[in-house]
């Protein structure tokens, strides 16, 4: 240990002042690996940061495990943090963390818009000049998967150093990416920090957005009680914030949660109808369509097929009109279910296949499994046992890997095909 420290000290003292300052800043990055974010942390340009990183790599102070990915050995990181405290002081630490958190917030918002262009990101002002330019959905999704653990680490660091406005904005701007790839527990952890940050900042809008996101995370994790509490809290905070997007989706989700609890009375439907009215008044087309989609699902559950079909077709048309590809795919799954229920399973098959193609492009395996279950049902109704078995078998591969509660029912349906 003493020999390693002596080597690090000698290498560090051999650096010029600018490179040494850059090196000290790297030790403040809370993630295990970093790339262009190093430029945000240090204030250097991306080109200059890469040049300095390569210089440090040649001095064996920084490792490069992958192309354009760097990291510090744990012992080196401890040494660097020690030098930061001795030479730069606490103000420099906080400023660097603030720059890094703002960079990640704006970069993540860009990735989010590439995946879901109709989601209202709120990264705030002061966008850094050098941000990733995602030319495709695939690039954005790959960036998210690479940086996902850093997003949580940076949010926590921003909160700890008092950058509360940034710490609530990052979760509020990026959480659908966590939804699509089923990182639901990380999503919940992200909003735990976001809620504390918004509360410390005294920001009602930040509270409303983070309560809404936390409600969605708890809903997907199966805790309907916690989800409903967060949706109610989102509405309460939004009374001061006055954001119709939050109000509309919190109301819609309260209706959906009540319905899933078996409450088939007017309250659940009333929540969704109120959400539809809020969205219509605000001109929020995707919200309008999402509310109609919920009403279509309710109608299908009650066997009101024609009513459900009308709501669903209107939702599909609205999603297509605004170019909401992923939402259109979800609506096609509902449409496929309704068409199967009304005796038109042959029309349901292409709807499910179109949805599956979109989910594949978005690398959304969870939604793909839902579409495969519906496709299998349509084929079964048509008497196409082999195709039904193929669709259900593909869905089961994913569901079993995630201990999904739908596994026993799907297995039973496959056994029934053999009978």
Element (H, E) at 66: strand 63-66
Which of 263, 329, 340 is closest to 293 using CA atoms?
329
Which of 124, 153, 147, 169 is closest to 35 using CA atoms?
147
For residue 176, the 8-state DSSP code is H
Q: What is the mean pLDDT of residues 71-91?
A: 86
Query: Cβ neighbours of residue 45 under 8 Å, at least 6 residues apart?
Result: 39, 130
322's tokens: 């605004």
pLDDT above 90 for 297: yes
pLDDT in tens, 121-173: 999 988 888 899 899 999 999 999 999 999 999 999 999 999 999 999 999 99
Burial (CB count within 10 angstroms: exposed 0-12, middle 13-18, buried 19+), residue 195: buried
Identify the sign of the CA torsion 392, 393, 399, 405: positive
pLDDT at 2: 60
In angstroms, the CA 333 to CA 329 distance is: 7
In angstroms, the CA 43 to CA 38 distance is: 8
For residue 71, the 8-state DSSP code is E
pLDDT in tens, 303-329: 999 999 999 999 999 999 999 999 999
Secondary structure class of 280 (helix, strand, coil): helix
In angstroms, the CA 219 to CA 347 distance is: 31
Q: Give the torsion through C-alpha atoms of 230, 209, 142, 24, to 10 deg.
A: -110
Secondary structure class of 70 (helix, strand, coil): strand
pLDDT above 80 for 104: yes
What average pLDDT does the structure give for the chain? Answer: 93
pLDDT in tens, 323-349: 999 999 999 999 999 999 999 999 999
354's tokens: 């179109």
pLDDT above 70 for 1: no
In angstroms, the CA 367 to CA 327 distance is: 11
140's tokens: 């954005």
In angstroms, the CA 226 to CA 216 distance is: 10
Q: What is the mean pLDDT of residues 288-295?
A: 98
pLDDT in tens, 196-209: 999 999 999 999 99
pTM (two decimals): 0.93
From the CB of residue 95, how many other CB atoms can be counted at a distance below 10 Å? Answer: 17
407's tokens: 């596994």
152's tokens: 């949580």
In angstroms, the CA 276 to CA 295 distance is: 10
pLDDT band at 45 (very low <50, low <70, confident <90, very high): confident
385's tokens: 């046992």
Q: State how far Cα 170 lies from the chain centre.
A: 11
Report in angstroms the alpha-carbon separations of 15 from 44, 61, 74, 99.
17, 11, 20, 24
């Amino acid at each position: 240990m003493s020999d390693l420290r002596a080597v690090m000290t000698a290498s560090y003292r051999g650096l010029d002042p600018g490179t040494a300052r850059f090196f000290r800043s790297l030790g403040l990055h809370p993630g295990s690996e970093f790339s262009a974010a190093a430029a945000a942390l240090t204030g250097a340009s991306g080109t200059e940061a890469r040049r300095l990183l390569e210089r440090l790599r040649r001095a064996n102070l920084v490792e490069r495990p992958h192309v354009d990915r760097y990291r510090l050995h744990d012992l080196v990181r401890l040494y660097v943090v020690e030098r930061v405290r001795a030479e730069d002081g606490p103000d420099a630490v906080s400023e660097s963390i603030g720059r890094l958190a703002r960079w990640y917030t704006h970069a993540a918002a860009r990735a989010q818009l590439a995946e879901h262009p109709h989601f209202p990101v709120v990264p705030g002002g002061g966008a850094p000049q050098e941000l990733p330019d995602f030319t495709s959905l695939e690039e954005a999704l790959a960036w998210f998967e690479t940086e996902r653990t850093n997003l949580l680490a940076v949010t926590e660091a921003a909160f700890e150093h008092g950058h509360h406005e940034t710490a609530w904005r990052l979760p509020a701007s990026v959480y659908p990416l966590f939804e699509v790839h089923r990182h639901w527990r990380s999503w919940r952890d992200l909003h735990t920090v976001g809620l504390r940050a918004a509360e410390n900042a005294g920001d009602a809008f930040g509270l409303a957005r983070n309560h809404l996101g936390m409600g969605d995370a708890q809903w997907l994790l199966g805790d309907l009680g916690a989800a409903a509490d967060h949706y109610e809290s989102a509405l309460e905070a939004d009374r001061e914030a006055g954001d119709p997007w939050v109000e509309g989706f919190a109301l819609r989700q309260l209706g959906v949660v009540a319905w899933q609890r078996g409450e088939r009375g007017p309250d659940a439907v009333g929540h969704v109808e109120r959400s539809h009215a809020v969205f219509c008044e605000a001109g929020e087309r995707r919200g309008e369509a999402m509310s109609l989609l919920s009403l279509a699902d309710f109608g299908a559950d009650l066997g009101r097929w024609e009513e459900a079909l009308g709501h669903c077709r209107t939702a599909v048309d609205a999603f297509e009109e605004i170019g909401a590809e992923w939402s259109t795919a979800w609506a096609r799954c509902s449409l496929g279910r309704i068409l199967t229920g009304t005796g038109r399973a042959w029309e349901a098959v292409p709807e499910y296949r179109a949805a599956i193609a979109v989910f594949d492009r978005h690398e959304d395996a969870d939604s793909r499994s839902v579409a495969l279950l519906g496709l299998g049902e349509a084929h079964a109704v048509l008497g196409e046992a082999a195709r039904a078995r193929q669709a259900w078998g593909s869905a089961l591969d994913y569901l079993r890997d995630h201990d999904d509660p739908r596994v026993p029912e799907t297995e039973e349906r496959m056994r029934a095909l053999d009978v």
